Amino acid sequence: MGSKRLFSKIDLRWGYNNIRIKEGDEWKAAFTTFMGAFEPTVMFFGLTNLPATFQTMMNELFRDLVNTGKVAVFIDDILIGTDDEEEHDKVVEEVLQRLMDNDLFAKPEKCEWKRSEMGFLGCIIGRNGIKMEERKVKDVVEWPTPKCVKDVQKFLGLANYYRRFIEKFASIAKPLHALTKKDKKWSWGDEEEEAFGALKAKFTSHPILVAPELDKELKVESDASAYATGGELSMKCEDGKWRPVAYISKSMTETERNYDIHDREMLGIMRCLEEWRHFLEGAKHKFEIWTDHRNLEYFAKAQQLNRRQARWALYLSRFNFELKFRPGKTMGKADALSRRPDFEQGTKDDNKDQTLLKPEYFAIRAMEEGHMLINAEEGEILDEIRKSEAKEDDVVKAVEEMKRAKVKSLRGDEWKLEEGLVLKEGKVYVPKDETLRTKIIRLHHDTPIAGHGGQWKTVEMVTRNYWWPGVTKQVQKYVEGCDQCQRNKNRPTPSAGKLMPNPIPTKPWADVSVDFIVKLPESQGMDSILVVCDRFSKMAHFIPTTETTSALGLAKLFRDHVWKLHGLPETVISDRGPQFAADFTKELNKMLGIDTRLSTAFHPQTDGQTVRTLPECHGVTLSHLSRILLHNNFPLLLQFDGG
C-alpha cells in the first residue's frame, strides 16, 4: 500500500453482529441479566473466537483482491489503495458489490474516499511513507506525569504501539518498565522523569517510515551491547537512498546477558529476523545483514553448536542473506539502539561471578592393541562424540567434583575421566544425542560385519565399547523395527491365523451356546446356573445346578431341559471351561450323538451369544437377590425368568 496514490477506507456497520451464530449453538454464548437469561442469535463483542472468525470471513470475501495488493482488510476495516482514479473506482465498486451480496453494510460517517493520505489502524499511510497519527501523538505529548503504576502502564501501552517508529525505544523506556515490576517499590525520581520526557520528545520529531515493498532491496542492521539488542530494517528507494522501514530495540534478560559476545551478537540478529520474518523470508532479493562484530562472518562455518545455536542455525536456513561486517561508527542507528548509559544501570554487578562455559570435547582414549578400530565409520562416530562439546557438561563436572571429594563409589574403576572423556567401567559414555546413539546401534547391527544379529547379540556388540542409560532397551527396540530382519528372518513363533466367524444359524435351536454363572448364594443346594442359548432366536434356558456338578449330571440337565423341548441341536459352542473340557462332551455325544465344536481358549468372544446373555441373567438374578435370600427359591424363580 505504501506506493499507492489514492486511498479509500470502509468501516462496516454493526461489526461482529453481522455474523449469525449457528442454529443450535446459541446456548454457548448465553448470558444473564437482571431481567433473566438470554441466548443471542448473533455474535457480539467479548466472545473469545470472534475476531478470528470475523477475520476469516473477510479473508474469504476479499482474498483475490488482497492478493493483488489493492485491498487490505483488518476485522471490519477495509483499506483500498490504487495508482490512478479510474482503477480506484473499479476496485471500490467491486468491494461494495461484494459487501452488498453478503448483506454487509458500511457506516458512511466513518468511511473516507479518494485521499492521498489515509489513517488506518492508528497510522497515516501515504505515498511518502507511514507516520504516526497526529491525534495519538498529541495524546502522548500531553500525557500528564504518572502518579502510580497504573498510570505508567497506560502510558507505555499507548507509546508501545508506536515503538517501531522510535529509535532506542527500549533503552529510553527501561526506567519506566522497571516501575511496573511487582517487586519494584513506587519511586518517581529524576531518572524516571528524564525517561518520560525523552520518550515524549521522540514522538514530537514525527519520524516517517517507508512502506516495505517486496520487490525492493532490503537491509538489516543489527547490534548488541552487554545489556540490549537493537536493529533497523531499511529499504533501497527509487532514488537509490536507504530509508528506514522499522526499528527494534529490546533489553536482554539476566540469562541472555551471560552469553558470550558471539552469542549476544547472534541474538540481536535472530531478534531482527523473527520480528521482520514476514518481510525477509522469501524476499525477492538476497538481503544483507550488517554487524559490527567481524567474528560473526564465520559463525555459519562453526562445527560445534550447542542446542540453542543449533536452533538458530535451523532458523537461519529459512532466509537468503549475506553477513557483512561494518564498523560500529558506520552503524550509528543500530549501535545507538543497543547502547544507552542509563540502560546499563544495574547490569554490571549481575555478571560479576559469571562463568562462561568453555567447549569441552569428548576425546578418544588410547585403546589397547586388542581394541583397535576395525573400520573408518566407527572412527567418525568417535569424532562426533569428541565434537559434542560437552552437551551434558553437568555430568562431566559432577564426576570431577565427586573425584575431588573422593566419593567412595568413584574410587575404583567405575567412572573415569580421560582427556575430557567420561568412561564408565572402561566404556565410552555416549551423550544424550539420539542421532548419535542410533548411528552406533546401526553400525553394530546393519553393517556386513555385524550381520543383522539378534537383540542380545547386538546389545553385546554395542556395550563392548559404549554405554549410556537405557542402552539395552534402545537396542532391542531398534532390532525389533529393523526392516531387513523383518523381511528375511524366519520367526520361530507361527503367525496368527485369520479370524473365522461362526456359521450363521439358519433355524431355531440348530446351533446353541452354553456357559455358566457361578459363585451365587446357595439356594436349595444350588449355587450355579447353566445357561443354554439358541443362537438363532436368542431364546435362553437358565437351569439351576452346582459348580461341582459332574459331566454326566450336566449332560442329563442338557437332555432334560433342552433336548426334550427343542430336539437335537446340530452344534454346541462352549468357552471350553473345565466342565466342558472334561467328560461332559463325551457323555453328551454318547447320549445324543452331537458333533461338538469348542470355542477358542481364553477367547470368550467366540461364544459371544451366551456371553452377551450372561449380563442379562445377572441383572435378573441380582434384581431378585433379596427375594432369593429371603425365600430360598432362586431355582424356582428361574422357571419364570428363564423361559
Q: What's the CATH superfamily of 511-642?
A: Ribonuclease H-like superfamily/Ribonuclease H (3.30.420.10)
pLDDT of res. 382:
67
The yes or no reply on domain 210-346 and CATH 3.30.420.10 is yes
* Per-residue pLDDT tens digits for 40-95: 888 887 787 878 888 888 888 888 888 887 888 888 888 888 888 888 888 888 88
* Per-residue pLDDT tens digits for 400-435: 655 565 554 444 456 676 655 667 777 887 888 888
496/587: higher pLDDT: 587
pLDDT band at 367 (very low <50, low <70, confident <90, very high): very low
pLDDT of res. 336:
45
pLDDT at 620 over 60: no
pLDDT of res. 627:
47
CA 147, 148, 152, 158 torsion-angle sign: negative
Out of 3.30.70.270, 3.40.50.1820, 3.90.76.10, 1.10.287.610, select the CATH number for domain 132-204: 3.30.70.270
The 10 Å Cβ neighbour count of residue 409 is 8
Name residue 6's beta-bridge partners.
82
pLDDT of res. 499:
65
375/500: higher pLDDT: 500
**66-75, 471-480, 633-642: lowest mean pLDDT where?**
633-642
Measured in residues, the chain has a length of 643
**What architecture is domain 391-430+443-488?**
Orthogonal Bundle (1.10)
Mean pLDDT of 382-400: 62
pLDDT at 573 over 50: yes
The Cα–Cα gap between 264 and 145 comes to: 35
Judge whether 503 and 595 are in contact, CB under 8 Å: no
Q: Do domains 6-116 and 132-204 have the same CATH topology?
A: yes
**Cβ neighbourhood burial of 507 (10 Å; 0-12, 13-18, 19+):** exposed
- The proportion of the chain whose per-residue pLDDT surpasses 90, expressed as a percent, equals 1
* Per-domain residue ranges of the chain: 6-116, 132-204, 210-346, 391-430+443-488, 511-642
Task: Spell out a b/e string for 516-529, using b for 16 or more CB atoms within 10 Å of the CB, else e.
Answer: bbeebeebeebbbb
Judge whether 113 and 119 are in contact, CB under 8 Å: no
* Per-residue pLDDT tens digits for 310-333: 788 888 888 888 877 765 544 544
pLDDT band at 580 (very low <50, low <70, confident <90, very high): low
Q: Enter the pTM of the model.
A: 0.39
As assigned by CATH, the class of the 6-116 domain is alpha beta
The Cα–Cα gap between 440 and 196 comes to: 61
